[in-house]
Amino acid sequence: MLSRMCFCFFKEDKAVVCLARIAAFLTTLAMGLPGAAAADNGRRPAGSSGVRWGQVRVLDLETAVKIALAGNPTLAAAAARVDQAGERVNEARAACWPRVGLDVGVSRVELSETARNAPPGIFAEDPEDYYNANLRATWVLFDGFSRKFRKLSARYGLDTSLAGQKEAHRLLLSSVAATYFSAQLAKQNIVIAGADEKFNERQLADAQSRYRAGTGSLSDVLNFRIRLNAARANRIAARAQLDVTLIGLAALLGRPDSRLPAHVELAPMADPLHDEFSRPDADALAEAALSVRPDVIQRKMEVKNAEVRVKIARSGYYPRVVLAGSLDGKRTDGPAFGKDDFGNSLSVNLSYDLFTGGARSAGLRRAKAALREALHRLEQTRLTVKSEVKQAAATLLSAQEKLALERANLEMVRRQRDLVEKGYRAGQESLVRLNEAQKELVAARGRLAVATAAVHRAWYALLAATGQILAYFSR
């Protein structure tokens, strides 16, 4: 479009046409180069995991993570922030190039009655058409290194956004893992309540048979009926807890209706893997996390950006040197410009603010205060990371010990219940004792499920606290 406008006005002179082509080329170059310089920065478009809900039948943790990384709106927002930061880098780069502009216009002047009655020769014809064209270029040669530091600041801003994107990934993975194992625990509680329900159904049938035969009591029948109803109530409560937890999981996975598809079934809770029984070195992990955690990297980039902002503020104490040139054309006989209709100018301008009312010094002090704030935020983040890692390590160690105890305890409680059941059938144990044994077995199974889920959650919480969860799910 720009080149066509130039040819419209310069078509009668080859030299000026050549100048217009050069100007158009420089304008296109200045407009296109920053976009061409945009880096991909390793970003992957959202929704590129390749996992489709129609292909999922059993939802395990790895599949849930893949779906969450592809469809979670929080990650999409983080990716958009990275895109914004990348374009700010391009904007900063553009300041290093000349600015080329073109102005064209036509005006029609009709004189007033007074001007028409003026002495001849003073005014031009009435009315008159005036055509003008102006091609101008400016280039900042020196600005106290402000452009250099602004490019560096934009680059640090991009690095900060990339670290923020990874931090959003880390938090999302941690939330998905915690919610997933909470859902598995609720599902396991349904299984436990179902087993208790079947046990009491079996005992109720036996008590009814003995009551009809005259060898049992009505109180035994009522007892097992009450216990059966209690087991069913526990199963209903566990089902409700599972439904609520799955709603939260579906939201993390980016489901618009916060519901998992009807054909998708949650995988049963498995025993912890060998790695989950490792004994973490809290101090070593805390130190390693300082170089891996995205939020720490984010704070470091903020400190570097604040340092650069101080240098940008100092650039205001330097003069500004600008190279400017223009090609001006004016004529009244029509738009067919020739070389005789053009004049040109070339200048080098230096400007320096002698007094700004304290604005420069205030801006410098503000930048230094922002740097101090960034340093304090970095130190606070480091302390928080160390605390989170050590707490997660302590929680994992405790969960591992408790799981070992609950496993051993369940075996003893199951054996005890079986012995009491045999004794009750033989008339050697009371109904009260059988109730207690069954109740203790159900409680032991529940405690084992809670302990198993606790080890899973503690392990992934430690991975999240150390920042290793990103690499763990990238394997």
Q: How would DSSP label each residue in 281-334?
A: -HHHHHHHHTTT-HHHHHHHHHHHHHHHHHHHHHGGGS-EEEEEEEEEEEESS-
**What tokens does 369 get?**
């205060």
- For residue 118, the model assigns a pLDDT of 62
Peptide linkage before 45 cis (omega within 30 of 0): no
2 falls within a domain: no
Domain with residue 388: its CATH number is 1.20.1600.10
Q: How far apart are CA 440 and CA 222, in angstroms?
A: 20
194 falls within a domain: yes
36 falls within a domain: no
Q: How far apart are CA 372 and CA 349, in angstroms?
A: 37
Which percentage of the chain shows pLDDT scores above 90? 66
158 falls within a domain: yes
Taking the model in full, what pTM does it have?
0.77
Q: Is the CB of residue 455 less than 8 Å from the CB of residue 272? A: yes
Q: Is the CB of residue 269 less than 8 Å from the CB of residue 138? A: no
Number of domains in the chain: 1
Query: Tens digits of per-residue pLDDT, 362-420?
Result: 999 999 999 999 999 999 999 999 999 999 999 999 999 999 999 999 999 999 999 99
Query: Tens digits of per-residue pLDDT, 228-276?
Result: 999 999 999 999 999 999 999 999 999 888 899 999 999 999 999 899 9
182 falls within a domain: yes
336 falls within a domain: no
| Alpha helices per DSSP H over 95-145 | 113-116
Residue 208, domain extent = 46-97+144-318+358-472
Indicate the pLDDT class of residue 54, thresholds 50, 70 and 90: confident
